[in-house]
Structure 1
Amino acid sequence: VLNRTGSFFFNYISIILEPQFVGSFDVGEHVYFFFREIAIESNGAERSVYSRVARVCKKDIGGRVVLRQVWTSFLKARLNCSISSQYPYYFDRIQAVTRVETSDDTLFYATMSTPDTAFVSSAVCVFSFKSINQLFHHGFFADPNSPTWLPLPADAVPEHRPGTCVPNSHTLTDTDLHFAKSHLMMSEPVSGGPPILPTRDVVFTHIAVDVRSEQNVIFALDSRTNTLWKVAHWREGSTWKWLELERREIAVGGPIKAMTLLPGEFLFFASRSAVTQFTLAGCSMYPSCALCAVDPYCSWNVARAACYPREKAHGQSLGWISSWAGRGSSECSASAKPRPLAAYPGDSVHLVGAVGGIWKRDGLEIVPSHRTISTADGGLVIMDVSREDNADYECLLNGRQVIKYRLLVDH
């Protein structure tokens, strides 16, 4: 494969430019490659980088004369991961990819980023195996003779459609091979749907996905800061939804070079000098039922008002609340009581909240000031408290209360 790949790029450098591969997968009679490259079809003066998926037949041995020792079935298409608007915001640089099997499809979860500028952003997009094959089997080819790479009319495609697997590629005619040689790229992209977890000032360099009964749990890592995001991803009808569950820094003694998953149990991180094991059930960090119960690895104990690793028995046991992101944490409402917090005049108090949450005081949203400061992890710090600060403070995430405090400043 390496020799054939090298030969391909050497002979057709005008078609595939400076590729950087991030993953390959064996599925059925094909091998699928995910990579980024210089986009020859972009119209800008600067060299643009696009992400691609490519496919080749496993039994492809090249042509007899034309495309000798070169793949005859190679096709590629752009991967579209973008925020829709009048001027779409593209995440064009694929960084990592992993494969997930579902009951009716194969999904490829990929981390994508914008170009390396002062405003770099990242997101996760999900590409369907069925959508990829639908495009390769029935989509229009890009016309290399068109200045803007317009779709090639369907009646211009020969009977042997490029990319079709055959028992022996030596039997293909020179006419078919000359056409395949010049029509490697599809006109339309493969859509990754709405981006998951679009985030500024990060580059998600690694990804892993743990498949649970109700949802998939995405782990995305920025190895520049060794920060890990945990995100729930689930389907409601024909719509996919997501919810950020957790964000934390991983202490591994240097930049993380590799990340791998033991499903349902651990993540492993490797730096140049060490390997670190990280439990998926980081339950002790959740301060409330609403945050704990939607984490698929945790359950909330009502009597102890604390979060513990989830066990199968918790689902049928009294005093335990176990939910998931798609169902929400409505069961927590009955047990939710304001947490008393005592302080003295002049103290500073720190209220633990949720990343992305908003804070309210007695039902009114708090505006940050020199005395009320929002923290990066979703908390709230109130400086130099006085009796005027006596009130109920609640943190809401996506409109739902995740924790509530009752502050009492006493002389």
Structure 2
Amino acid sequence: MLFLLILFFGGSAGLTSGQVWPLYGTPRKTVTLSSYGGHVFQEEGVWNYTTMLLREDMGVLILGARETIFALDLNNITDRKAMVKWKVIPSMRTSCSNKGKDFETECQNYIRILHKMPDGRMYVCGTNAFNPTCDYMSYTHGNLSLESKDHKGRGKCPFDPFQKYASEVVDGELYSATSVNFLGSEPVMMRSLNESIRTEYTMSWLWDPTFVGMKHVTEGEENPEGDEDKIYLFFSEAAIEYDFYNKLDVSRVARVCKGDLGGQRTLMKKWTSFQKVRLDCPVPQTKLPSLIQDVFLFCPGKWSTCVFYGVFTPQADTSQYSAVCTYSIQDIREVFSKGEFKTMVNVNFFPKWVTYDGSVPDPRPGACINNDARQKGYFKSLDLPDKTLRFIRDRPLMDQAVEPSSKQPLLVKKGAAFTSIVVASTTALDGSIHQVMFIGTASGSVLKSVNYNGEMVIIAEVQLFAHFEPVKILRLSSTVGQLYAGSEVAAVQMPLSSCDHYTSCVDCVLARDPYCGWDLISYGCVAINSIHPDTRSEVVQSLRDGNASRCPAVESTNTIKFFYPGNMVSLLCEPGSNLAQVQWHVNGHPVENSNVYQIQHNTLLILNASESHAGHYNCTSVETIKGVDYMTQSATYELRLGDFMTDPSVQPLVQEQQNTLLALKVLVIILTLMLLALVAWNFYKGYFAIPKCFNSDEESQQKTSGCQEPLQTGGRNNAASKACSSNSNNNHNRLSGNQHNEDQVF
């Protein structure tokens, strides 16, 4: 069964194999946070900076961490305005530890819920050592203060500090999706604070879900059908609609009506409008469904123009592709309001979910109270008939899946998994409006990306966190033009644009950054929103085509470099971007890899250089946009044979070597004088004696006998001296006797 299921999901990708997938995996620039003008905030001993609330009305970022809440300046988060601690009492930590949780990590208070209330206060909840607790908080006169009106947070805040959840405050009501028990095994989507209502605890409603995000869409505004606002919940869960032996997860979106009060008899205090549908995000070279990790609601105008941006990652290690898919609110509404339902039947005593082909009650199950329902006498969910309520209770799953806009992902990238996303809107020089995506990754970076008529351009990848800490949360402030990100170790802030980061006209224009353009008058890359209307004609920006023909020619730098025969010469060349190609020429001829020339990481190496390798070496960095080549960098090296007398780069080295030789000579002279003085002193003290003078016969006899006079004349060597003398005499006598005998024979 699992094999058939894989074929089913793989088939959806196969149908689009002939299409050109937007596999734009290389960012044009890779930069650090500091070079991009960002800031880092972290407090000693504080961890888990993963909950954020923008209070643009107060000019602060409310940052929730472990047992600590901060108020930071929106313009510069290193400026801490206020801080409040919310610690777990010792007995609670002990109780948590006794239940099997880690005392040091899990049994603390992790701030998980931060929302602005209608009266200006903030609603805050923490895990509180697996005993979720909520309170109200105020920021007044530069101080953060908890009201100490603690109340239970079960169903509002997760027990487990590392379990994913979703929440939203709408008109003073808290909508939340989390688990309501210690073990995390009872998932729920509920509304609390005033009118409490929740999901049924049944497998057909929620089955082992991972909640991702919750969004409020004001569909009740200017709605010709008299419909009401909706709350959309995004999550992944184990699929109930497929037969398989191993667990298979799918992505979902569910919705409920804001005015839902539950049923009168059936579904009392339960949602009467809870419906869910599968979200498809077909990624090439993957067989199993990708899983949603984060969602962002972008509404350029009224609610009917809203689009959901979702980031998806594979659920198996066999694929390394992450994707961004978009879904229009109209497409989702179409499936919920007109699509068919799934129903459960028993086949050979096994439950199986199939398409429901029976009659559908009126009013339509799962629909909100609209003009049509009011005309039939139904003014609130409590008025709905039991037949409608029983139908939606047993059949909350829709048969048709929601497909992404354009039937394919907006972006697919291989590498570090996507974790989060926010989307900003900006107006270009020609008045066109563009959506800029900022995508957080598991490697601690954020990708700045724009789609131009189906072509996805990754403008830059900014490394936010050291040690590759995953980005856990992203928040966007259009008011101050800043992006905020959180991880386990720190929170960071970076501008949406950093135009002065581009160093030349070609670099600025080829970046295709909608925030930036090259000013031909001031000769710098400037922000589009800062340009005076009278000088807009002198600014160059080409987003769709990347046309840099109006830019002046790139100036080449000239460097004189000396070399010496037998050495290896290294000539550096910096490419203008990650998309540029480096080209080397020597005396006007292209350089190719050989036994002499090696090009490694754009650097030209000349191995065992000789006099014949002197000449002009030129490096150019060329970037191709829409089939047109643009030079982004140019450098020329004049390679000369080295001369110690004329080479200014070598003269300091020669002088240093001469100084070293002089020092060595002085040291040798000093050591020689010290040695001579030591020898003279030993002779003066009598420790050394001049050897005695012997006649030639005695010297010959000594050489023959091998006996030598001791150098030392101390008493302990007298006996040895006498023995040596005696031995010498005996040898002399013996030699004389032998000579006498020889004379007699001859």
The normalised TM-score by structure 1 is 0.83
Q: Distance in 2 between matches of 1:146 and 1:231?
A: 48
Describe the shift of the 1:269–1:366 C-alpha distance in structure 2 as closer, same or farther (beyond 3 A).
farther
2-side partners of 1:231 and 1:120: how far apart? 19
Matches within 5 A, 1:215-294: 215-222=434-441, 224-234=442-452, 236=453, 240-251=454-465, 255-263=470-478, 265-272=481-488, 274-293=490-509, 294=512
Change in CA separation of 1:383 and 1:205 when aligned onto 2, cut-off 3 Å = same
**Cα distance change, pair 56–249 in 1 and its aligned pair in 2 (3 A):** same
Query: How has the CA–CA distance of structure 1 residues 134 and 319 changed in structure 2, closer, same or farther, with 3 Å as cutoff?
Result: closer
Quote the offset at 1:143 in angstroms.
Answer: 3.1
Structure 2: unaligned runs, 5 residues or longer: 1-174, 181-187, 191-196, 220-227, 370-378, 428-432, 564-568, 607-612, 640-746
Q: Any idea what the Cα deviations from partners look like across 1:314-368, whole Å, max 9, x if unmatched?
A: 5642784342533x332x213242441445472232323334x2526499x9999
CA distance in structure 2 between the partners assigned to 1:366 and 1:156 by the alignment: 76
> For the Cα contact (< 8 Å) 1:290–1:329, is it kept in 2?
no
Distance 1:19 1:177 in 2: 23
- Offset, 1:396: 2.0
Whether contact under 8 Å (1:66, 1:177) holds in the other structure is yes
- Does the C-alpha gap of structure 1 residues 37 and 368 become closer, same or farther in structure 2, counting only changes over 3 Å? farther
Give matches, 1:2-401, under 5 Å: 2=176, 5=189, 11-27=201-217, 28=219, 29=228, 30-83=230-283, 92-103=290-301, 105-117=305-317, 119-145=319-345, 149-153=353-357, 156-166=359-369, 167-193=379-405, 194-213=408-427, 214-222=433-441, 224-234=442-452, 236=453, 240-251=454-465, 255-263=470-478, 265-272=481-488, 274-293=490-509, 294-302=512-520, 306-313=524-531, 316-317=534-535, 320-323=538-541, 325-326=543-544, 328-330=545-547, 332-342=548-558, 344=561, 346-355=569-578, 357=579, 359=581, 361=583, 371-373=598-600, 381-384=602-605, 390=618, 392-397=620-625, 399-401=627-629
Q: 1:408 aligns with which of 636, 657, 660?
A: 636
Displacement of 1:296: 2.0
Deviation at 1:49, TM superposition (A): 1.5
Q: Distance in 2 between matches of 1:88 and 1:252?
A: 31
Could you report, residue by residue, the CA deviation over 1:62-116 in whole angstroms, capped at 9, with x for unpaired residues?
Answer: 22222222111111111111136xx766662111111111245101111111115
Distance 1:136 1:388, change over 3 A: farther
CA distance in 2, matches of 1:367, 1:144: 68
Query: How many angstroms apart in 1 are the aligned matches of 2:281 and 2:356?
Result: 24
From the superposition, tell whether residues 115 and 291 of structure 1 become closer, same or farther in structure 2 (CA, over 3 Å): farther
The structure having more radius of gyration, on CA atoms, is 2
Using the TM superposition, give the Cα deviation of residue 397 of structure 1 relative to its aligned residue in structure 2, in angstroms. 4.5
| 1:209-236 C-alpha deviation (Å, 9 max, x unpaired) | 11123100100011x32111001135x5
Hey, what does 1:377 align to over in structure 2? none
Aligned CA distance change for structure 1 residues 97 and 61 (closer, same or farther; 3 Å): same
Q: Conserved in 2, the CA contact under 8 Å of 1:337 and 1:404?
A: no
Measured at CA, do residues 258 and 393 of structure 1 come closer, stay the same or move farther in structure 2, by a change above 3 Å? closer
Equivalent residue number for residue 141 of structure 2: none
1:378 aligned residue:
none
Note the alpha carbon deviations across 1:29-78, whole angstroms, 9 max, x for none: 21111111111223443212111111111122222222222111111111
- Contact 1:359 1:366 survives alignment (8 Å): no
**What is the rounded CA distance, in whole Å, between the counterparts of 1:69 and 1:101 in structure 2?**
32
Partners of 1:124 and 1:312 in 2: CA distance: 31
Aligned equivalent of 2:712: none
Q: What amino acid does structure 2 have at the position aligned with 1:101?
A: C
Partners of 2:269 and 2:593 in 1: CA distance: 65
Q: Deviations over 1:114-168 (max 9, x none)?
A: 1151533211111100110011111121233387744323x52222222111332
More strand by share: 1
Give distance in 2, aligned partners of 1:15 and 1:288: 57
SS of residue paired to 2:570: coil
Q: Distance in 1 between matches of 2:532 and 2:549?
A: 18
**Distance (whole Å) between structure 2 residues aligned to residue 143 and residue 366 of structure 1:** 69
Contact 1:142 1:150 in 2 (8 A): yes
Determine the C-alpha separation between the residues in 1 that align with 2:592 and 2:345.
58
Q: Give the length in aligned residue pairs.
A: 393
1:137 is matched by which residue type in structure 2? S
Take 2:487 and 2:592, find their aligned partners in 1: how far apart are those partners? Answer: 41
CA contact (8 A) 1:243 1:325 kept: no
Assess if the C-alpha contact under 8 Å between 2:323 and 2:409 holds in 1. yes
> Offset at 1:16?
1.6
Output one character per residue of 1:274-323: Cα deviation in whole Å (capped at 9) or x when no partner. Answer: 43221122224334434423212222234675433344425642784342
Provide the secondary structure at the position in 2 that maps to 1:351.
Answer: coil
More helix by share: 2
Q: Distance in 1 between matches of 2:536 and 2:338?
A: 55
Q: Which residue of 1 aligns with 2:73?
A: none
| Residues 397 and 310 (structure 1), Cα distance of their counterparts in 2 relative to 1, 3 Å cut | same
Residue 383 of structure 2 aligns with an amino acid whose one-letter code is T
Hey, what's the Cα distance between the residues in 1 that align with 2:520 and 2:542?
17
Residue 74 and residue 368 in structure 1: after superposition, are their counterparts in 2 closer, same or farther (change >3 A)?
A: farther
Instruction: Tell me how far apart the structure 1 counterparts of residues 485 and 331 of structure 2 sit (CA, whole Å).
Output: 32
Amino acid at match of 1:243: V
Any unmatched runs of 5+ in structure 1? 375-380
Supply the distance in 1 between the matched residues of 2:328 and 2:341 (Cα, whole angstroms): 20
Q: 1:9 to 1:64 in 2, by over 3 A?
A: closer
* CA 397–49 in structure 1, closer or farther in 2 if over 3 Å, else same: farther
